[in-house]
């Protein structure tokens, strides 16, 4: 027990071993229940204790690794990604070394063989394990219900709660808070006189760009400035910093905010992975709100649409057509993802085909990490590898601006980064997290409507509302 609590105390952000008295009963009951479970299965107290400590250590190690890379501890919503690990192994395993892949493959078989050899056939230890498991589970349920009634961990603050209650207690409390969160009421409908149907843009192109950030802000090197981004800011109707909550990952948080317009405060404990409960909030989605006004909506993502359940969610929120990786040519040898140049050409084709009011929402993939080496040349990477892909995204932005100038109809381009990259030694958690965004408006004549070219820093849900405000604004 003492060893398991010492392990829990090593979880970042660190807390003193004796400082968080409230975490002790939850932690001890969970550890007792795990020991009972393993004892019931093996009949061997030594094996049960070893497996229990190993599992606590695994959670601590994974949480600390995540904190080091992404700046937040392990969360209950991360456990939902275990299914994705088996469904999309290439997406995860290509980011680790060959030796680590072999170890992960061999370890389960070694463990099963060892358990079979150490199995104890006598009934008594198995029965003791069952009793210990049931007693710990019942006491844990009572304790957690009491804590919830007393308002423990009632406001999402993962860092503070891990320090205060420990990792295991926080995982359980946050999961219960998440389960208790009710779906919101239906979103208010847009009405014709409010929406300004006499003159909204007939073509709305939203591009969510993977790991797109201003390299001058990341490095302080003015020589890395992006020409396309600088030009877009000069022409923009609105531009500024987008205050995304994730760092180095969690694309779905930014994507959800822009698509659904729901703030983190409104989401509560759903904020950590809002896609898990998105089917209860479909009326808030941008394509659902525009559908009644004749807009046809397309979702474009050159990756497996089953990731984050987009294949089911996007049709449910009003997208008429999904364009996934099967619609793009195979990636070149040595590359992992469809490049942004190819994606930009596809988007330009969809723009050409749009003859009715159309919303196109695109999510890029080229600049997804890791950037430990260049994917084509094999050279050492870091910032150089990142910049090569970032410039491809920047060129796509410039190309889309040029294309939208020649649509012959009012149009709008929204371009933003989903989160900053996590590149050890270059960009690490703990500092700013914002990414750039630009909103450009195009008149039917091809003129770019800059308006006051206002810099306004936004959150993703603010950007959702800005899109609607832009569509209601007068042209000219």
pLDDT of residue 104: 62
Mean of the per-residue pLDDT values of the chain: 89
Residue 119, in any domain of the structure:
yes
Q: pLDDT value at position 197?
A: 42
185 within domain boundaries: no
225 and 299 fall within a common domain: yes
CB 285 within 8 A of CB 263: no
Q: 360-382: buried (b, 16+ CB within 10 Å) or exposed (e) per residue?
A: bbbbbbbbbbbbeebbeeeeebb
Q: Would residue 404 count as lying in a domain?
A: yes
Are 233 and 379 contained in the same domain? yes
pLDDT-derived band at 115, boundaries 50, 70, 90: confident
Q: What is the mean pLDDT of residues 83-108?
A: 62
Instruction: Give residues with Cβ within 8 angstroms of 177, minimum separation 6.
Output: 148, 153, 154, 156, 268, 269
Q: Give residue for tokens 């030009």.
A: 231
Query: What number of CA atoms fall less than 13 Å from residue 71's CA on the CB side?
Result: 19
132, containing H or E segment: helix 123-149
Residues 450 and 330 in one domain: yes
- 99 or 466: which leads in pLDDT: 466
Helix axis angle for 167-179 and 45-70, nearest 10°, is 80
Q: How far is residue 128's CA from residue 224's CA, in Å, rounded to a whole number?
A: 65
pLDDT at 82 > cutoff 90:
no
Instruction: Say how far apart CA 261 and CA 393 lie, in whole Å.
Output: 25
Q: If you count DSSP H runs as helices and E runs as strands, how many of each does the chain have, helices first? A: 19, 8
Within 10 angstroms of residue 121's Cβ, the number of other Cβ atoms is 7
Say if 394 falls within a structural domain.
Answer: yes
CATH number of the domain within which 280 lies: 3.40.720.10
- Residue 260 located in a structural domain: yes
Q: In what order do the strands lie in the sheet with 454-455?
A: 321-323, 296-300, 358-363, 203-209, 411-417, 435-442, 238-242, 454-455
Query: Do residues 205 and 167 both lie within one domain?
Result: no
For residues 211 and 160, state if they share a domain: no
pLDDT at 10: 87
More confident site: 33 or 93: 33
Q: How many CA atoms lie within 13 A of 322 on its CB side?
A: 19
| Nearby residues of 110 by Cβ (< 8 Å), 6 or more positions away | none
CB 254 within 8 A of CB 244: yes
Report whether pLDDT(192) > 60: no
- pLDDT, residue 98, reads 66
Q: Which residue has the higher pLDDT, 194 or 320?
A: 320
Note if the pTM is more than 0.85.
yes
**Into how many domains does the chain fold?**
2
pLDDT for residue 172 is more than 90: yes
Residue with tokens 């891990």: 162
Element (H, E) at 30: helix 23-42
Same domain? 174 vs 265: no
What is the pLDDT at residue 326? Answer: 95
CB atoms within 10 A of CB 164: 18
Report whether 3 contacts 53 (CB < 8 A): yes
C-alpha angle 27/30/34, rounded to 5°?
135
Q: Are residues 302 and 346 in the same domain?
A: yes
Cβ-based neighbours of 47, under 8 Å, separated by 6 or more:
38, 115, 118
Q: How confident is the model at residue 193 (pLDDT cuts 50, 70, 90)?
A: very low
Shared domain for 164 and 304, answered yes or no, is: no
What single-letter DSSP state applies at residue 378?
-
What is the model's pLDDT at position 30? 96
Other Cβ atoms within 10 Å of 24 Cβ, number = 16
Alpha helix ranges (H) inside 359-408: 383-404
314-345 pLDDT, tens digit per residue, is: 999 999 999 999 999 998 877 889 999 999 99
Percent of the chain with pLDDT strictly greater than 90: 69
Q: Taking 70 as the threshold, does the pLDDT of residue 20 lie above it? A: no
Residue pair 259/361 in contact by the 8 Å Cβ criterion: yes
Q: Within this chain, do residues 175 and 199 fall inside the same structural domain, yes or no?
A: no
Taken as a whole, the chain contains a residue count of: 476
Best mean pLDDT range from 101-105, 119-123, 205-209, 386-390: 205-209
What distance lies between CA 200 and its chain's CA centroid?
A: 31
For residues 251 and 259, give the distance between their C-alpha atoms in angstroms, rounded to a whole number.
12
Q: Kindly state the percentage of the chain with pLDDT values over 70.
A: 88
Q: What is the DSSP track for 176-196?
A: HHHHTPPPPPPPPPP-HHHHT
Smallest CA-to-CA distance from 422 within 71, 81, 95 is with 71
Q: In the prediction, which pLDDT does 121 show?
A: 85
Q: For 218-274, what is each residue's pLDDT tens digit?
A: 999 999 999 999 999 999 999 999 999 999 999 999 999 999 999 999 999 999 999
Q: Which domain holds residue 25?
A: 2-179
What confidence category does residue 87 fall into, taking pLDDT thresholds of 50, 70 and 90? low
Same domain for 406 and 302: yes
């Amino acid at each position: 027990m003492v060893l398991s609590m010492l392990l829990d105390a090593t979880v970042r952000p660190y807390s003193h071993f004796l400082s968080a008295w409230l975490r002790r009963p939850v932690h001890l009951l969970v550890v007792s229940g795990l020991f009972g479970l393993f004892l019931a299965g093996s009949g061997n107290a030594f094996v049960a204790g070893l497996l229990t400590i190993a599992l606590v250590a695994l959670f601590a190690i994974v949480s600390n690794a995540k904190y080091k890379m992404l700046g937040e501890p392990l969360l209950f919503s991360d456990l939902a990604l275990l299914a994705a690990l088996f469904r999309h192994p290439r997406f995860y395993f290509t980011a680790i070394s060959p030796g680590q892949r072999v170890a992960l493959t061999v370890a389960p078989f070694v463990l099963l063989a060892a358990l079979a050899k150490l199995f104890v056939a006598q009934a008594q230890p198995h029965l003791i394990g069952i009793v210990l498991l049931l007693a710990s589970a019942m006491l844990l349920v009572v304790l957690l219900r009491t804590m919830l009634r007393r308002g423990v961990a009632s406001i999402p603050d993962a860092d503070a709660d891990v320090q205060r209650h420990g990792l295991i207690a926080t995982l359980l409390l946050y999961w219960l808070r998440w389960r208790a969160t009710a779906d919101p009421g239906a979103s208010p409908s847009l009405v014709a006189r409010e929406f300004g149907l006499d003159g909204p843009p007939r073509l709305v192109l939203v591009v969510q760009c993977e790991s797109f950030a201003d390299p001058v802000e990341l490095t302080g090197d003015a020589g890395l400035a992006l020409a396309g981004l600088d030009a877009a800011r000069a022409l923009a109707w609105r531009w500024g910093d987008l205050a995304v909550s994730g760092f180095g990952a969690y694309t779905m948080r930014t994507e959800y905010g822009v698509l659904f317009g729901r703030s983190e405060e409104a989401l509560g404990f759903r904020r950590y992975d809002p896609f898990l409960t998105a089917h209860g909030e479909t009326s808030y989605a941008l394509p659902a709100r525009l559908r009644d006004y004749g807009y046809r909506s397309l979702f474009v993502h050159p990756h497996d649409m089953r990731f984050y359940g987009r294949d089911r969610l996007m049709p449910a929120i009003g997208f008429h057509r999904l364009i996934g990786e099967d619609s793009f040519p195979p990636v070149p040898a040595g590359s992992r993802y469809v490049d942004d140049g190819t994606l930009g050409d596809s988007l330009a084709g969809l723009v050409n085909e749009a003859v009715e009011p159309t919303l196109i929402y695109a999510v890029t993939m080229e600049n997804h990490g890791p950037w430990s080496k260049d994917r084509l040349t094999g050279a050492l990477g870091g910032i150089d590898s990142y910049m090569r892909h970032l410039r491809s995204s920047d060129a796509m932005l410039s190309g889309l601006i040029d294309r939208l100038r020649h649509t012959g109809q009012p149009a709008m381009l929204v371009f933003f980064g989903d989160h900053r990259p996590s590149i050890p030694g270059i960009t690490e958690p703990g500092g700013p997290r914002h990414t750039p965004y630009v909103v450009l408006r195009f008149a039917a004549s091809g003129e770019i409507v800059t308006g006051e070219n206002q810099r306004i820093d936004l959150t993703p849900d603010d950007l959702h509302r800005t899109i609607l405000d832009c569509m209601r604004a007068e042209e000219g």
